[in-house]
Amino acid sequence: MADEAPSNQPNTGGNRPSLSLHVPEPKFRPGDTVDFSHIDIGEAGKQPRPDESCAPEDMRDLAYGLIRVLGEDDRAHGPWDPKLDPETLRTMLKHFATVRAFDERMFRGQRQGKTSFYMKCTGEEATSISTAMALASDDMVFPSYRQQGVLIVRGYPMIEMINQIYSNKGDKLKGRQLPIMYSSREHSFFTISGNLATQTPQAVGWAMASAIKGDSRIAATWVGEGSTAEGDFHSACTFATVYNAPVILNVVNNQWAISSFSGFAGAERTTFAARALGYGLAGLRVDGNDPLACYAAEQWAANRARANGGPTLIEFFTYRAEGHSTSDDPSGYRSATEREDWPLGDPVMRLKKHLIALGEWDEDRQAAMDLEAAELVKKTTKEAEANGILGHGLHHPFRTMFEDVFEELPWHLKEQAEQAVHERKTKFPDGLPNGGKGA
Ligand SMILES: Cc1ncc(C[n+]2csc(CCOP(=O)(O)OP(=O)(O)O)c2C)c(N)n1
Ligand SMILES: [Mg+2]
């Protein structure tokens, strides 16, 4: 009754249905037989390619379908074919081989205790390598932790990557960042942050500043599908659309956020590309394992941003083929056969087969390329190891952790620094127990 005081007791009686929530549950768990037939991957070459100046509402369907170029016949099809020459395709393949070899070796290095942490990008290489190749080398990138491919494309010295991973005395970041959280101003590569999605408003802000200054450089950011549930991502979308910022928001939908499947970020309800529509952003949904489609979509968005046409949100539909990181074991939460049954295949194999179909490549050359990549990584790893590995003392001196923030160290930090150095010397007069030399 209206004049009755509201009660804190649940109202479970009467004709009203009791309320309930939907808690997402992944389709397959360990041991389950996998069936991906519910995924509509469409046909390569069938998706229209609008002009880069197209209004977002006139390209709605592209946020729900899947832009694909490489067909089952390993040929390029349709208007999204970027028509790259064989030399460029071979360069892309080489970057793929390099990143795969790098990931393998760094993963092993973690298992051998040379570093505390590593993250692979296996199966997702096209979402960073092919896209980065479609950008200008001085476009500012704000990646997440799974875009090592961007640094490889930009020619960042591999030894710097390994020094950072080992946190050794050669590490330009002086051991202050978690392994793999690289940073390179010279390569227009913004410092990676472990705080998910913070890079998205930063990218939009940088793009806005670029426009305010009348610059011609655009910004691109990469964020995982799980991270799109963060508030930062939504602020980024709002700022991007309001100011028509020259920015590309790349959403890498690898379907997993550690052990949470994409349903927890909203994948059961709509696509991640469709998020764009609510903001009035251009939205594209792309086969993330199709290197040509990835390149073409990023190029489309870059052209649009460069011409003041506005921001684009691109969803790359892919699959995280391996564990989240060296700290993860996916066999505990997902079916082991998902990787093989995944209908969009492997980007490296697809590009290789395409080049072979063009008569521009063969298995022997592939084997030689893979070997060369493995040798390069091995040689560079040895060089980096001379600068030190985890726990062997060849790191930046302990006291340097207090440097580089303030022009002049404030008195309280000076005090803390002295105290820290003193305590370390008192506790470990002969150096650290594991052989470290201390301060
Ligand atoms: C703000 C914040 N919340 C949680 C975490 C812990 N965390 C690190 S990675 C990750 C999963 C992210 O998944 P996704 O965005 O899909 O990216 P992916 O790892 O699949 O590339 C989580 C929850 C974090 N680092 N930062
Ligand atoms: Mg993910």
The answer to whether 357 and 292 are in contact (CB under 8 A) is no
Q: In 3-state terms, what secondary structure has residue 249?
A: strand
pLDDT, one tens digit per residue, over 148-180 is 999 999 999 999 999 999 999 999 999 999 999
Cβ 258 under 6 angstroms from ligand 1: yes
Distance between CA atoms of 216 and 210, rounded to whole angstroms?
A: 7
Identify residue 260 by its one-letter amino acid code: S
Ligand 1 midpoint to CA 247 (Å):
22
Mean residue pLDDT of the chain comes to: 95
Return the pLDDT at 89.
99
pLDDT, one tens digit per residue, over 25-81 is 999 999 999 999 999 999 999 999 999 999 999 999 999 999 999 999 999 999 999
Distance between CA atoms of 23 and 21, rounded to whole angstroms?
A: 6
- From first CA to last CA, the distance across the chain in angstroms is 74
pLDDT, one tens digit per residue, over 218-256 is 999 999 999 999 999 999 999 999 999 999 999 999 999
Return the pLDDT at 432.
67
Ligand 1 midpoint to CA 6 (Å):
41
- pTM of structure: 0.95
Return the pLDDT at 88.
99
pLDDT, one tens digit per residue, over 308-367 is 999 999 999 999 999 999 999 999 999 999 999 999 999 999 999 999 999 999 999 999
Return the pLDDT at 13.
73
Residue-level length of the chain: 439
Could you identify the atom of ligand 1 that is nearest to the CA of residue 324?
A: 19
- Choose the residue to mutate in 258, 325, 326 for probing ligand 1, maximizing ligand atoms within 8 Å of C-beta: 258
Could you identify the atom of ligand 1 that is nearest to the CA of residue 124?
A: 21
Cβ 318 under 6 angstroms from ligand 1: no
Looking at residue 270, the DSSP 8-state letter turns out to be S
Q: How confident is the model at residue 430 (pLDDT cuts 50, 70, 90)?
A: confident
Using a 10 angstrom Cβ sphere, with 0-12 exposed, 13-18 middle and 19 or more buried, the burial of residue 266 is: middle
Residue 185 clears pLDDT 60, i.e. is over it: yes
Distance between CA atoms of 371 and 363, rounded to whole angstroms?
A: 12
Per-residue HEC secondary structure of 257-310 comes to ECCEEHHHHCCCCCCCCCHHHHHCCEEEEEECCCHHHHHHHHHHHHHHHHCCCC
Return the pLDDT at 140.
98
pLDDT, one tens digit per residue, over 263-307 is 999 999 999 999 999 999 999 999 999 999 999 999 999 999 999
Atom 13 of ligand 1, residue of closest alpha carbon: 257
Q: How confident is the model at residue 437 (pLDDT cuts 50, 70, 90)?
A: very low
Using a 10 angstrom Cβ sphere, with 0-12 exposed, 13-18 middle and 19 or more buried, the burial of residue 55 is: exposed
pLDDT, one tens digit per residue, over 359-407 is 999 999 999 999 999 999 999 999 999 999 998 888 888 888 889 989 9
Residue 439 clears pLDDT 70, i.e. is over it: no
Spatial CA neighbour of 294 closest among 168, 136, 134? 134
Atom 11 of ligand 1, residue of closest alpha carbon: 257
Residue 414 clears pLDDT 70, i.e. is over it: yes
Ligand 2 midpoint to CA 223 (Å):
8
Where does 60-169 show beta strands of DSSP type E?
Answer: 140-142
Return the pLDDT at 5.
62
Return the pLDDT at 401.
85
Distance between CA atoms of 380 and 155, rounded to whole angstroms?
A: 14
Task: Tally Cβ neighbours within 10 Å of residue 364.
Answer: 8
Q: In 3-state terms, what secondary structure has residue 72?
A: coil
- The residue among 276 and 13 whose pLDDT is bigger is 276
Residue 16 main-chain phi, psi, to 5 deg: -70, 135
Q: Which ligand is nearest to the CA of 324?
A: 1
Return the pLDDT at 6.
67
Distance between CA atoms of 172 and 144, rounded to whole angstroms?
A: 19
- The environment of the single-atom ion ligand 2, i.e. residues with CB closer than 5 A, is 224-226, 254, 257
Q: How confident is the model at residue 428 (pLDDT cuts 50, 70, 90)?
A: confident
Spatial CA neighbour of 119 closest among 326, 284, 403, 310? 326
Neighbouring residues of 156: CB distance < 8 A, sequence distance ≥ 6:
182, 184, 187, 189
Residue 438 clears pLDDT 50, i.e. is over it: no
Identify residue 322 by its one-letter amino acid code: E
Residue 1 clears pLDDT 80, i.e. is over it: no
Residue 408 main-chain phi, psi, to 5 deg: -125, 125
